[in-house]
Amino acid sequence: MIGGGQLSRMTHQASVALGAGFRVLAQSANDSAAQVVADTWLGEHDSRDAVVSAAHEVSVVTFDHEHVPLTILRELEESGVAVRPASSALTFAQDKAEMRERLAVIDVPQPRWAIVESSTDVEEFVEKWPVVLKVSRGGYDGRGVWVCHSLHEVEAVMAHELKPGVRWLIEECVPFTRELSAQVARSPHGQMVAYPVVETVQTNGMCAEVIAPAPGLEESRSAQAQRIAMTIADSLGVTGMLAVELFDTGAELFVNELAMRPHNSGHWSMDGAVTSQFENHLRAVLDLPLGSPAPLGAWTVMVNVIGGDYPDMYAAYKHCMARDPGLKIHMYGKEVRPGRKIGHVNVVSDDLDDALRRARHAAAYLTGTIEE
Amino acid sequence: MIGGGQLSRMTHQASVALGAGFRVLAQSANDSAAQVVADTWLGEHDSRDAVVSAAHEVSVVTFDHEHVPLTILRELEESGVAVRPASSALTFAQDKAEMRERLAVIDVPQPRWAIVESSTDVEEFVEKWPVVLKVSRGGYDGRGVWVCHSLHEVEAVMAHELKPGVRWLIEECVPFTRELSAQVARSPHGQMVAYPVVETVQTNGMCAEVIAPAPGLEESRSAQAQRIAMTIADSLGVTGMLAVELFDTGAELFVNELAMRPHNSGHWSMDGAVTSQFENHLRAVLDLPLGSPAPLGAWTVMVNVIGGDYPDMYAAYKHCMARDPGLKIHMYGKEVRPGRKIGHVNVVSDDLDDALRRARHAAAYLTGTIEE
């Protein structure tokens, strides 16, 4: 797995049970995954030599992020290495403009969008303010995305110089009432499993909370979201996990973004589903039969633990464990920095309010925003 | 953790979620845990220098087996290292004669027993054949235990020379109808949690199958078993997981053996309980508040995967996954050798027969004893 972040760390946990050898290419020995994985190689994900060396003699190469240059992946593929998801699929996760173009072809519902090069283009596009301006490549966790309320704001953003190959993308602001995520795993055989559709709550463009399954989602709407995710996985030839982030307006669904890897919106599955997204990602990329995505309880709530002002979390960690023996805490081994994702907590319960209250309390206490 | 076997491997998985640094002292880089743990040290568990070096600057030392010499552990303790369980407790897990002597003092029900030195001593002890003859130290998985049907058989066994410090122990053959295991976790603070009491099925002296909870066990009997385990943990000052293996005659319970570590009879908890025995072992030895041992489903069945005649299990592994997407397979990364524990499967189900059928099928198919 290229990338030594927490997704790699948690995929490692799944690889242990499967008995699958697991190698990670991390930037530093202090990376979240590098701390725990025996077979850790150090190197940059955008260094051709580092990636090619680490990929030597492995059965399959996969990723914990979207940032490996396609040129490197194509070289691997040409030399006979199995890259999953393949560069031909990954390009749509790397480039939001390509993704929009492709989703239009396969007729998946998405916000009205356009490629723009100037504020004049934007003016022509806009029917109603605000609009969303994005860079086509390189953004994540809210970076590279701006909600603009006027042409003036658009011009300020577009004053940034774009890197080569990056385009400006503009999208209507869909009047959504909530955001959903539909996750599927797909193997090279084409076997697919769909996880329950979840509700995601974003804060500052970053996933903060996930409720599985999405409360009050009608079965037909849930099935539609799963169908959209399966259509995309199949049409784009995705292997491994695919997360499709969706806007729910109450009346319609629109595709917001894609991720072709385990995703923050699937962390609930570690404690709340028969097979976690990490295990199914591995099973998919290794072309093993997929595991059941069935939920283990009525509700699972996941809340991210965000770094706060206090670097020493030990007292808070003990307090949360003592207060709630049913809490599932997942720490990423990261140094605490304000605003940084450093872990998450899951609570499985028959009662949604109970799960929400307990998971939110623990995350807030660990972050340091509450003290009792 | 001293020892690089599968218990260490699975404890590592739990340490990843807790964000706890985890170092293992393994005999070889190919050991089950050494394959997956980043911070692996190589050395013998009975080498003073290897153990002392590996224990340098860690918060706590614990074990995946009972075979570290107490002299080494006492030296660690004297130098200020936290050893959990402490040598003062571990001695009762290392020496079955000491254990029997101690359990007699704390008045826990156990089979009639005696230390014997000659066949004459045995003759005086025996009221009824067969009897069980054991070496006090060094046995495991059925080794060092003989069921003898005559004085002649006893003499043949006792012709073996004993190592220094090892004694012969004789016990009546309790007419049990089944075997149970009661597991508790105990922290240095003295906090304890008790897991549901399980039924264990042994084959050739080795744990083969576990049903959680033990079917048809009356609540009062289950509470008695948990009380026995808590009494032992408390009286002996055990920290970490304690497994108490019990004979159930239908009318009474008798303590068979103890293990002061995660135990085969608790592997079901990885998929069947809120907190696995591996996580609670770590939480206990790190003096963290303990996690809930509550079951996640009505029934969990664990069946060991034993090495068979075919070293290449890959086809069988894929077949089992394809046949049953709800199966939880745990492989230990061990080379297949006939009779060797190489993994286990868990099935959680509302229906006991369903869980038994599926888990047994998968284990038998992986072992190679059935082909459909």
Encode pLDDT of A220-263 as tens digits.
999 999 999 999 999 999 999 999 999 999 999 999 999 999 99
pLDDT, position A129: 95
Verify whether the Cβ–Cβ distance B18 to A288 is below 8 Å.
no
Residues A72, B260: Cα–Cα separation, whole Å = 50
Complex ipTM value: 0.95
Q: Which residue of B has its CA nearest to A291?
A: B325
> Which helix (DSSP H) or strand (DSSP E) does residue B103 occupy?
helix B96-105
Whether the predicted pLDDT of B32 surpasses 70: yes
**pLDDT-wise least confident of A333-337, B12-16, B204-208, B361-365:** B204-208
Contacts of A296 in chain B (CB under 8 A): 296-297, 348
Contacts of A37 in chain B (CB under 8 A): 36, 38
Where does chain B hold its CATH 3.30.470.20 domain(s)? 178-367
Contact status, residue A66 vs residue A99, Cβ threshold 8 Å? no
Q: Is the CB of residue B34 less than 8 Å away from at least one CB of chain A?
A: yes
Report, at the CATH architecture level, how domain A178-367 is classified.
2-Layer Sandwich (3.30)
pLDDT, position A310: 79
Whether the predicted pLDDT of B141 surpasses 70: no
Where does chain A hold its CATH 3.30.1490.20 domain(s)? 112-172
pLDDT, position A326: 98
Helix extents (H) in chain A: 6-18, 48-54, 70-78, 87-94, 96-105, 119-125, 151-158, 219-236, 269-272, 277-285, 314-323, 352-367
Residues B71, B78: Cα–Cα separation, whole Å = 11
Q: Is the CB of residue B9 less than 8 Å away from at least one CB of chain A?
A: yes
| Residue B148 bridge partners (DSSP) | B131
The radius of gyration of chain B from alpha carbons, rounded to an integer in Å, stands at 20
Residues B127, B140: Cα–Cα separation, whole Å = 27
Q: Is the CB of residue A106 less than 8 Å away from at least one CB of chain B?
A: no
Residues A96, B334: Cα–Cα separation, whole Å = 44
Where does chain A hold its CATH 3.40.50.20 domain(s)? 6-83
Contact status, residue B307 vs residue B363, Cβ threshold 8 Å? no
Whether the predicted pLDDT of B72 surpasses 90: yes
Phi, psi of B248 (to 5 degrees): -110, 115
Please count the CA atoms within 13 angstroms of the CA of A204 that sit on its side-chain side.
5
Question: Measured in whole angstroms, how far is the alpha carbon of residue A302 from the centre of its chain?
Answer: 14
User: Per residue in B56-65, pLDDT tens?
Assistant: 989 999 999 9
pLDDT, position B311: 76
Q: Is the CB of residue A36 less than 8 Å away from at least one CB of chain B?
A: yes
Residue whose C-alpha is closest to residue B230's, from B267, B264, B211, B255? B255
Q: Is the CB of residue B35 less than 8 Å away from at least one CB of chain A?
A: yes
Which numeric CATH code is attached to A6-83? 3.40.50.20
Q: Which of residues 54-93 of B touch A (CB under 8 A)?
A: none
Contact status, residue A15 vs residue A64, Cβ threshold 8 Å? no
Verify whether the Cβ–Cβ distance A19 to B331 is below 8 Å.
yes
Nearest to B36 among A16, A317, A348 (CB): A16
Verify whether the Cβ–Cβ distance B288 to A318 is below 8 Å.
yes
How big is the A-B interface in CB pairs under 8 Å?
107
pLDDT, position A166: 94
Fold for the domain defined by A112-172 = Dna Ligase; domain 1 (3.30.1490)
Nearest to B322 among A40, A289, A321 (CB): A289
pLDDT, position A141: 67
Mean pLDDT of B329-358: 96
pTM over 0.90: yes
Phi, psi of B329 (to 5 degrees): -95, 135
Q: Is the CB of residue B36 less than 8 Å away from at least one CB of chain A?
A: yes
Contacts of A23 in chain B (CB under 8 A): none
pLDDT in tens, chain A (372 residues): 999 999 999 999 999 999 999 999 999 999 999 999 999 999 999 999 999 999 998 999 999 999 999 999 999 999 999 999 999 999 999 999 999 999 999 999 999 999 999 999 999 999 999 999 999 998 776 788 999 999 999 999 999 888 898 999 999 999 999 999 999 999 999 999 999 999 999 887 788 999 999 999 999 999 999 999 999 999 999 999 999 999 999 999 999 999 999 999 999 999 999 999 999 999 999 999 999 999 999 999 999 999 988 778 899 999 999 999 999 999 999 999 998 999 999 999 999 999 999 999 999 999 988 887
| Residue A83 bridge partners (DSSP) | A61
Q: Which positions ≥6 away from A353 have C-beta within 8 Å?
A: none
Contact status, residue A262 vs residue A195, Cβ threshold 8 Å? no
Verify whether the Cβ–Cβ distance B13 to A13 is below 8 Å.
yes
User: Per residue in A330-369, pLDDT tens?
Assistant: 999 999 999 899 999 999 999 999 999 999 999 999 998 8
- Is the four-CA dihedral A355, A196, A132, A68 of positive or negative sign? positive
